[in-house]
Amino acid sequence: MTANAADPRLAEALKATGEAVNAELDRLLPLPDGPEARVIEAMRYASLDGGKRLRPLLVMLSASLFNVAPSSALRVGCAVEMIHCYSLVHDDLPCMDDDDLRRGRPTCHRQFDEATALLAGDALLTRAFEVLAAEPTHADPAVRCQLVWELAHASGGAGMVGGQMVDLRAAELSMDVAAITRLQQMKTGRLICFSCEAGAVLAKAAPNLRQALKNYAHDLGLAFQIADDLLDVEGDVSQVGKRVGKDADAGKATFVSLLGVERARAQARMLADQACAHLDPFGDKADLLRATARFVVERQA
């Protein structure tokens, strides 16, 4: 299940990033000899050959604005992808969403077992920080520390995990658009924001340029989530690669249930345009980030 981008240069970048991420994750997750190999197999199953690699793409593209070494950006992209993948593995567990299908394949706990999936998620989460802290990620330890801190802050109780907690309670809370926006900023927005800012962190860029990327990421993250809600309503399971209609089944308020399909779609496109406008300081160099914003709202998977 690959998402095709209309822009041929972006399609090429998505393909190249996907291949580079797979090769690097393969290197970063070598299989050991001992009986602990099973958990590494599950980590590889959950992270190799899967998904759009949107977060690594955003890291690579933001890094390319500043001429950061691609090998540095790739490691950061793999770290954020490990966090994303661990969150999917834990999200799919029976005590959370109880899903059997992910990216068109059995979920990790269906392919292995629940305990192995739980541990594989824990180990992916841990490995992400090990990768960021290691010297090949950046020569300056202050930069590596900042990356560790930012990724932890974006993915912990004040970020992604906090958002998942709110999401679990969404049915009992009465969620309006403001509450859903906050929830989604925590659950998916913060990791997207980390990815977009990573290039500026790696380059020790000026604060105004980092802020421009943060503003771009803010709008992109919301546009992404609205598009996700639209796919959950309108998507086809064979294309989307996971169960659809989940939110309606769970009685959860979403951007689509609150705004309706047409207003939600218009809102996503408006946010994508707004995201692109934040990239003005970078001129033509940010064209692929602009194409990414359009791709995010038009994708079919």
Q: Which is nearer to a copy of itself, 82 or 264 (CB)?
A: 82
Based on CB atoms, which residue is closest to a copy of itself, 29 or 230? 29
* 47 contributes a contact to a copy of itself by CB under 8 A: no
Instruction: Pinpoint the alpha helices (H) of the chain.
Output: 8-28, 37-47, 54-64, 70-92, 108-111, 114-133, 141-155, 160-168, 177-184, 190-202, 207-234, 237-240, 246-249, 255-259, 261-277, 287-298
Nearest of 127, 134, 164, 296 to residue 228 by alpha carbon: 296
Environment class of 296 (CB within 10 Å of its CB; exposed 0-12, middle 13-18, buried 19+): buried
> Does 222 sit near a copy of itself (CB under 8 A)?
no
Q: Which residues in 67-106 contact a copy of itself (CB under 8 A)?
A: 86, 90, 93-96
Secondary structure (DSSP) of 176-203: -HHHHHHHHIIIIIHHHHHHHHHHHHHT
Cα–Cα distance for residue pair 210/254, rounded to 1 Å: 30
Q: For residue 51, what is the DSSP state?
A: S
**In this structure, what token pair is assigned to residue 177?**
């658009």
Single out the segment in contact with a copy of itself by CB under 8 A; choices: 67-75, 118-126, 235-243, 251-259: 118-126
Choose which of 10, 14, 43, 275 interacts with a copy of itself (CB under 8 A): 43
What is the contact mask toward a copy of itself in residues 176 to 215, using x (rule: CB under 8 A)? Answer: ------x---x-----------------------------
Applying CB under 8 A, among 8, 33, 34, 174 the residue interacting with a copy of itself is 34
Which of 22, 64, 111, 146 touches a copy of itself (CB under 8 A)? 146
Task: For a copy of itself, give the closer residue by CB, 19 or 113.
Answer: 113
CB of 214 to a copy of itself, least distance (A): 19
Cβ–Cβ under 8 Å, residues 21 and 53: yes
Min dist CB 173 to a copy of itself, Å, is 6
Question: For residues 28 and 58, which CB has a smaller minimum distance to a copy of itself in the complex?
Answer: 28
Q: Is 162 in the site for a copy of itself (CB under 8 A)?
A: yes
Q: Residue 116 and residue 163: Cα distance in Å, rounded?
A: 24
Determine the residue type at 1: M
Angstrom distance (rounded) from CA 247 to CA 223: 17
Scanning 66-74, 99-107, 114-122, 210-218 for contacts with a copy of itself by CB under 8 A, the matching segment is 114-122
Q: Are 2 and 241 in contact (CB under 8 A)?
A: no
Q: Is 119 in the site for a copy of itself (CB under 8 A)?
A: yes
Closest separation between CB of residue 68 and a copy of itself, Å? 18
Dist CA 80 CA 199 (whole Å): 13
The distance of closest approach from Cβ of residue 195 to a copy of itself in the complex, given in angstroms and rounded to an integer, is: 17
Neighbours of 162 (CB within 10 A): 16
Single-letter amino acid, residue 154: A
Of the residues 134, 206, 266, 277, which one makes contact with a copy of itself according to CB under 8 A? 134
Residues that bind a copy of itself (CB under 8 A): 32, 34-36, 38-40, 43, 86, 90, 93-96, 113-116, 118-119, 121-123, 125-127, 129-130, 132-134, 140-142, 144-146, 148-149, 152-153, 155-158, 161-166, 168-169, 173, 182, 186
